[in-house]
Amino acid sequence: MSSRVLLVGIVRTPRQRWTKAKELEELAELTKTAGGEVVERIIQTRSQPDPATMIGKGKAIEIRELCRRYEIQLVVFEDLLSPTQLRNLEDIIGVRVIDRAAVILDIFALHARTAEAKAQVELAQLEYFKTRLTGLGIEMSRLGGGIGTRGPGETKLEVDRRRIDQRITTLRRELERIEQERQVQRKRRSRLFQIALAGYTNVGKSTLFNRLTAGATVVSDRLFATVDASTRVFKIDKKITALLTDTVGFIRNLPLQLVASFRSTLAEIRDADLILHIADISDPKVEGQIEVVNDTLATIGAGDNPQILVFNKCDKVFDDSLFTRLVARYPSAVFISARTGAGLDILQVRIKEFMEKQMVVKSFTIPAERTELAALVYAGGRIIGERILNGKRQIRIRGFAAELMRIRKEVRKRLL
């Protein structure tokens, strides 16, 4: 049975209520994804947050009465709560109180599939809960008891800082081992062009990923359906191949603990040669989401990576003025529908044009009779010239510098 939930937001001036209402809409979607049923929302106008309860004792008592009247079991705050505020609010209201960060962590725990993702989420949860031990009370011993307390594994968290520290140390060591393995994998793949999909959560990255790679990544209309990074071969044409990676979606105020724990997964974006920044054109908040994604990319060290802005879900928009406005503001953007396939040919042309600009021309001279060496060179890119002179085969080829360097080393090795 889903929890009945009340959402709370706080603003400094009445003018901010409309913005906060939209933020609560997103929080409601997060809560729904986590398995909750939102039955009430409250926005309080207050010049300064109350250090003890965020909303003041009077408003907390008002919420207590609402919870009793509507049988509400959980109160979720849009704003981050301190440990003291958590404890005081639960004492006054009499039901469990959490904040937005806890809901996001819970959703990540719900969708984690691989051992790496589960370890990353558990570490983020522990780092988050560790600073809130005094506010969470006995809930820390009941991980798995509802939204905001769900764990990705079987481990039960105890209200014991020492045991939590021990578990954090274990998880960090495990993730360091996984990170080393990932670095080896990335080094092996470095000769291939790397493309990463990035964007706000639920903008259609996985649908596009499946379209371009014939992959089978889980597609869902829920937030954060993709937590684990997936990488597949993406063939631009017969001679141009890249690796495409589908990554976790971003969101406003993504908990810092998640950013830290998912550093190896986010490294797939940071190390990409090209980022496809996917945005949902059908979302009224699309431009704000683009800013959130760009800020997050800068935070993880990928702010200067080349990117192509891709507006997805164009099949859901019937207002031509929206297209006109976005084209004027983002003249280099590409407009597609990953669901129907519309515009994908244009996107692939743009990707191909970018990749070709990164290519170089190299010359290889090998014995004419060594056809296996010629085949090795041919696989490195597009042949733009070839001739045989004085028993030597001279080949001019256009390809990526890293791959041609690898081939040159291999040719020299075989000629020794």
List the one residue out of 126, 118, 125, 214 whose CA is nearest residue 174: 118
- Mean pLDDT (whole number) for 389-410: 90
What are the structural domains, with CATH classification, of the chain? Answer: 3-103 (3.40.50.11060), 113-174 (no CATH), 192-356 (3.40.50.300), 358-415 (3.30.70.240)
pLDDT at 356 over 80: yes
| Residue 293 confidence class, pLDDT cut points 50, 70, 90 | very high
- Residue 281 neighbours by CB distance under 10 Å: 22
DSSP state of 138: G
Which distant-in-sequence residues (6+ apart) come within 8 Å of 349 by Cβ? none
Q: What's the distance, CA 406 to chain centroid?
A: 32
Predicted local confidence at residue 217, as pLDDT: 53
- Mean pLDDT (whole number) for 173-197: 78
Predicted local confidence at residue 90, as pLDDT: 93
Q: What is the number of residues in the chain?
A: 416
- Residue 374 neighbours by CB distance under 10 Å: 19
Helices (H), 278-339: 286-299, 320-329
| 204 vs 262, more confident | 204
Q: What's the distance, CA 97 to chain centroid?
A: 27
| Residue 140 confidence class, pLDDT cut points 50, 70, 90 | very low
Which contiguous run of DSSP H or E holds residue 136?
helix 133-136
Percent of the chain with pLDDT over 90: 56
| Residue 292 confidence class, pLDDT cut points 50, 70, 90 | very high
- DSSP 3-state assignment of 147? coil
pLDDT at 134 over 60: no
| Residue 127 confidence class, pLDDT cut points 50, 70, 90 | confident
The string of pLDDT tens digits covering residues 255-273 is: 777 777 777 678 889 889 9
Predicted local confidence at residue 135, as pLDDT: 45
CA geometry: angle 356, 196, 173, nearest 5 deg: 135
Q: In what order do the strands lie in the sheet containing 3-11?
A: 36-45, 3-11, 74-77, 96-99
- DSSP 3-state assignment of 125? helix
- DSSP 3-state assignment of 308? strand
Say if pTM beats, i.e. exceeds, 0.75.
yes
Predicted local confidence at residue 367, as pLDDT: 94
Which distant-in-sequence residues (6+ apart) come within 8 Å of 92 by Cβ? 53, 57, 60, 61, 64
List the one residue out of 264, 263, 271, 262 whose CA is nearest residue 192: 271
Placement of tokens 């520290």 in the chain: 165
